[in-house]
């Protein structure tokens, strides 16, 4: 009788499912999504960019600035005043001095607001690293 009892418990252990590999895969996927989500930069507002036929893709973007149709300025998902644009660019540009600045101005945004943002960016960053985002 004892032998049958031991064989039954051994059979139960063989039939058990080991969830450790599945949990490892889930944790690796979770880490992957957390790490990649931190690299996505957004301005905080959707703009309708003007079309351009001679646009080039920029990969070294550090600072994204959006100007909405009502001339509000957005950086890092928050609305900022035109007077604080320079300080915010300095703060974000200090994290990666080699990166550039991209201004995403809406088609209906005023040229006055765009010029103010552009002037603030030129005081901080080399003018060759400043660009206007367009749609292709």
Q: What class does CATH assign to 61-132? A: alpha beta
Entry field: residues in the chain:
136
- Given this model, what pLDDT does residue 55 score? 72
Whether the predicted pLDDT of 110 surpasses 80: yes
Helices (H), the chain: 2-15, 20-37, 85-95, 111-124
Distance CA 73, CA 57 (A): 23
- Given this model, what pLDDT does residue 115 score? 93
Query: Strand pairing of 130-132 and 73-75?
Result: unpaired
Q: What percent of the chain has pLDDT over 90?
A: 32
Domains of the chain, residue spans: 2-37, 61-132
Whether the predicted pLDDT of 39 surpasses 70: no
Output the pTM of the full model: 0.64
- Given this model, what pLDDT does residue 42 score? 66
CB atoms < 10 A from the CB of 130, how many? 19
CB 43 within 8 A of CB 64: yes
Tens digits of per-residue pLDDT, 42-73? 666 777 777 777 777 777 777 889 999 999 99
Tens digits of per-residue pLDDT, 80-106? 999 999 999 998 888 888 888 989 888
Query: What mean pLDDT do residues 27-32 have?
Result: 90
Whether the predicted pLDDT of 121 surpasses 90: yes
């Amino acid at each position: 009788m004892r032998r049958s009892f031991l064989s039954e418990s051994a059979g139960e252990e063989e039939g058990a499912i080991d969830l450790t590999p599945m949990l490892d895969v889930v944790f690796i996927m979770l880490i992957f999504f957390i790490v990649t989500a931190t690299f996505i930069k957004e301005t905080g507002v959707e703009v309708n960019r003007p079309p351009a036929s001679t646009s080039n893709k920029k990969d070294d973007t550090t600072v994204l600035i959006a100007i909405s149709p009502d001339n509000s300025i957005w950086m890092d998902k928050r609305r900022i005043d035109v007077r604080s644009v320079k300080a915010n660019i300095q703060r974000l540009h200090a994290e990666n001095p080699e990166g550039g600045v991209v201004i995403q101005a809406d088609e209906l945004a005023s040229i006055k607001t765009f010029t103010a943002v552009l002037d603030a960016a030129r005081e901080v960053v080399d003018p060759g690293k400043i660009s206007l985002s367009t749609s292709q």
